[in-house]
A and B are shown apart, each in its own frame.
Chain A
């Protein structure tokens, strides 16, 4: 197992009141596996991702990556954020090579790697632009290229397509699926879109409403290259929808 999540709980304290966000979560993620975390908003799925990334400390339990406890962020776990979070003062190239510069990679090596990943995300023609000149979809492509160029074994994605319009979203899902077939990363992907989860994931982890616990795990028996209109696809979609709806209903009770 690449990632072990063991008995993980997290409580937030605001204005003297304790709010449990995660309660005793156990998940294992295998190497090269693509796992989607799905659940109603506020169920703690982003909290779980932030703990795996090392941005937040758990209140109890631990996360092990390759058997070692996570104590902070690191280059072994690339992160793609919902709101892109590009460095606005750097060009597309500057953003993509950020991690390579930190490692002290030479100019020729950096150029080759940047060219490869900009090609992979279809942005080779925009290498010298600044983020402010790019559309949302292009920014997220840069963010994906930046994470991949650093060659982490794990990629953590926190609702990466949540801020995009429906068309761009599907295009980027297609691209991510294609990229994953090339790169074979271990991916933890947070989303609230069931369709997105069924399209991308090997396994879908459905969480309960707050405090977040694991409700059910679906192992998808679908081909690598998926057809959103195949009967098996829509079968999974409606099955998972039923489970998620129970939790959404609880939020509104």
Chain B
């Protein structure tokens, strides 16, 4: 498309970089070490923010699903906050947590927590009550029921929740890094805008897409290994 544009002159050539130009920026930033650094910075923020949110969602999701008073207490709060697009709160995170790592990590954690919490609680609530009865009549106590029945039975749903949460984290890291960051892929893209380097913007976007699909593919592979028991192999 961009080559066609060059030939026909529909847009100014500078506005639509060619694959060759994008590849050149990629090669340059890889060789000077800046791209790996940006990727590393973004992934670290995603990792910490998502990791904390996942732990919180797992603990509270289990608790809310298993304990009715907790559910009744959490539900209104969550339903109040959840529909607000997280990006609307991004400036507040900068005010609260400053321009450093804190605001990015907190923002990713905040964004990914709610969908993961809701999906995990739903997965736990879906666990078949007869499985619990079967385990209880084999002598399982409360802790056994959680550890040996509820968690494994809800695990497929929990993994899906984590996968969605991780995709969402990659999604919002860009926004978080648009504001007040000095490194990261979002910053790289913003820099491309500031210094008018369209090839750098496109390259940053492509790298994000690539990261997303690599992570998704590896999680899917892990899921297949983990849930061999669901496959029909007669």
| Chain A residues near B (Cβ < 8 Å) | 53-55, 72-75, 77-79, 81, 83, 85-91, 98-99, 101-103, 130-133, 146-147, 150, 156
Given contacts A132-B229, A132-B230, A133-B233, contact A89 B136 (CB under 8 A): no
10 contacts between A and B (CB under 8 A): A78-B137, A81-B133, A85-B128, A85-B134, A87-B152, A98-B135, A99-B138, A102-B138, A131-B229, A147-B138
Residues of A within 8 A of B229 (CB): 88-91, 130-132
Is A74 a contact partner of B139 (Cβ separation < 8 A)? Answer: yes
Residues of B within 8 A of A53 (CB): 133, 137
Q: Is B32 an interface residue (CB 8 A)?
A: no
- Among A79, A103, A131, the most chain B Cβ lie within 10 Å of the Cβ of A79
Q: Is B11 an interface residue (CB 8 A)?
A: no
Q: Is B153 an interface residue (CB 8 A)?
A: yes
Given contacts A54-B137, A75-B139, A78-B138, contact A87 B131 (CB under 8 A): yes
Residue of A nearest to B139 (CB): A75
Q: Tell me, in angstroms, the Cα distance from A186 to B139 when the chains sit together.
A: 18
Residues of B within 8 A of A132 (CB): 229-232
- Closest beta carbon of chain A to B126's beta carbon, Å: 14
Given contacts A74-B139, A130-B229, contact A85 B133 (CB under 8 A): yes
Give the size category of B's interface with A: 20 to 34
Is A75 a contact partner of B138 (Cβ separation < 8 A)? Answer: yes
Residues of A within 8 A of B131 (CB): 85, 87
Given contacts A102-B144, A146-B138, contact A55 B133 (CB under 8 A): yes
- Among B128, B139, B149, B231, the most chain A Cβ lie within 10 Å of the Cβ of B139
- Closest beta carbon of chain A to B154's beta carbon, Å: 11
- Among A73, A75, A99, the most chain B Cβ lie within 10 Å of the Cβ of A73
Given contacts A87-B152, A102-B144, contact A74 B232 (CB under 8 A): no
